Structure 1
Amino acid sequence: MPPDPHFDPQPWQTITDSRAAAFLVHAEHSQYFVPFLDRECTVKQLSEEVPCTALQAYRAVEQMEDLGLIQTVRKITRRGKPIKVYTSVSKALFVPFKYAPHNSFEDMMLSRDNTWRELLFHSLMSQFYQVADDAGRDLGLRFLRHEGKPYVVQALGSGEDGSRGLIASFSAPDTPAIRDDWRVLKLTREQAKTLQQEFYELIHRYAGQEEGRDYILRVALAPYKEK
């Protein structure tokens, strides 16, 4: 069946309806919309891509139609009830957070951050326990003063043998590539912008590579502000 001649998706749409905005900024809900974005999709395809049950997909489609986010573009005739094919009413969307529920932006950023933080934390812990087992040493804290400054250091063993702290111990060539570092730096604006660009160039240098194993990398920089 040919496409509906009356259907003409607009290139951009700004969502100002609070119900539609609430749906799209919610990660669990928005996953149902993405398969229809600037392409055709059926309820069955949606249930396979998300994945979800057929009932969940059907209800999501009904809700998105009601919110004006998707529209039927054509129907596939078959024996029995025809199959509806949907697509987004716009090729691209912009959802201002001011139309979404309060704190939606903060909640979304925190949810994303927590997801990646949990993955990174699990990966770090696995390596820490593994290196401790391999070295036959205990993980623990070292309390010491060096050149008049007190230090509390995560470490493998007491350090009586001159061994380095936990993170520093991974600098050896035969150890896994590990870095976990938080610190406050004093930088001029020019230095901060240079560091920002250097971060980008360093990550871009390795991005897109297909060989090797997966690594989780977190790089963040922001002017310090106390809560």
Structure 2
Amino acid sequence: MIEIAEKINCNVLLHPTNQRILGECMLKACTLKDLVEELHLDMSEAHYRVQQLMRAGILKVDREEKRAGRPIKYYIPTQEKFFLPFKDTPYNTLVDFMSQQLTPILQRFVELVFRNAPHLGEWGLGFEILSKDQKLATVFHQQRPDPSHPVNHEDLMFQQRVLGMWQILELTPETSREMKKELMDLYEKYRQKQSPDGEKHLYGVFLTPGDLQDT
């Protein structure tokens, strides 16, 4: 593993498009045409990004295929792994990095929920005691004008495909490890069920010892 010590090189690798290019080149030696097709980039951007990564010492030319005109170049990483010290990035600590990463992800999740959700009533916050653990829960949902009116099939199907929740669980270390393993096994099960014809779904899960507030 190589440590990228120069700040300018760290910033190059922090760009999402550069990360996608590096990821493709880690899987196989790629030409510019490969990157354009796989990542849906235009040729000028692919060329610019690859040159950035090469100047930063992150990519190199693996081989060239001769042809009439310019040879076709295949690009690979200079190392199998790279390490960016936080002190040389815009993020001073892991907390800073995760905060900046998670904020747009959570915002996007909420945008997708509200954009796709059927309009059944007025949106708001519900406060109620959960019967399972007798704790106050805060839930955002729609207050239907007429709860007795049945929800149509399409709206019900959408509701059954969306999940957003957070809760404090009181677990022993052993139980916490079991839960983590089961969650990872469940993720792997459905990761392998992905289909080229499937619809994209935003997925995330968090589990850590602690509370929402310091005590």
Mark yes or no: TM-score above 0.5.
yes
Change (3 A) 1:80 1:207: closer
Is the 8 Å Cα contact of residues 21 and 95 (structure 1) preserved in structure 2? no
Q: What CA distance in whole angstroms lies between the structure 1 residues aligned with 2:143 and 2:124?
A: 6
Residue type at the aligned position of 2:166: W
Q: Given the alignment of the two structures, is residue 62 of structure 1 paired with residue 51 of structure 2, yes or no?
A: yes
Alignment of 1:39-118 (within 5 A): 39-90=28-79, 92-98=80-86, 100-103=88-91, 105-106=94-95, 108-110=97-99, 112-118=101-107
TM-score by length of 1: 0.63
Structure 2 gaps, min length 5: 130-134, 150-155
2:206 corresponds to which of 220, 223, 226: 220
Is the 8 Å Cα contact of residues 62 and 75 (structure 2) preserved in structure 1? yes
Q: What CA distance in whole angstroms lies between the structure 1 residues aligned with 2:57 and 2:174?
A: 46
What is the percent sequence identity of the aligned residues?
Answer: 20
Q: What CA distance in whole angstroms lies between the structure 2 residues aligned with 1:189 and 1:112?
A: 27
Greater radius of gyration (CA): 1
Alignment correspondent of 1:3: none
1:176 corresponds to which of 157, 160, 176: 160
Residue type at the aligned position of 1:219: V
2:184 corresponds to which of 160, 175, 200: 200
Q: Per-residue deviation at 1:103? A: 0.9
Q: Secondary structure at the match of 2:75?
A: strand
Is the 8 Å Cα contact of residues 196 and 221 (structure 1) preserved in structure 2? yes
Is the 8 Å Cα contact of residues 16 and 99 (structure 1) preserved in structure 2? no
Q: Deviations over 1:135-171 (max 9, x none)?
A: xx554556789xxx9987645347997x9xxxxxxxx
Change (3 A) 1:38 1:179: closer
C-alpha RMSD of matched pairs (Å) = 4.0
Residue type at the aligned position of 2:143: L
Is the 8 Å Cα contact of residues 17 and 99 (structure 1) preserved in structure 2? no
Decide which moves more: 15-24 or 63-72.
15-24
Structure 1 gaps, min length 5: 1-11, 164-171
TM-score by length of 2: 0.66
Is the 8 Å Cα contact of residues 25 and 100 (structure 1) preserved in structure 2? no
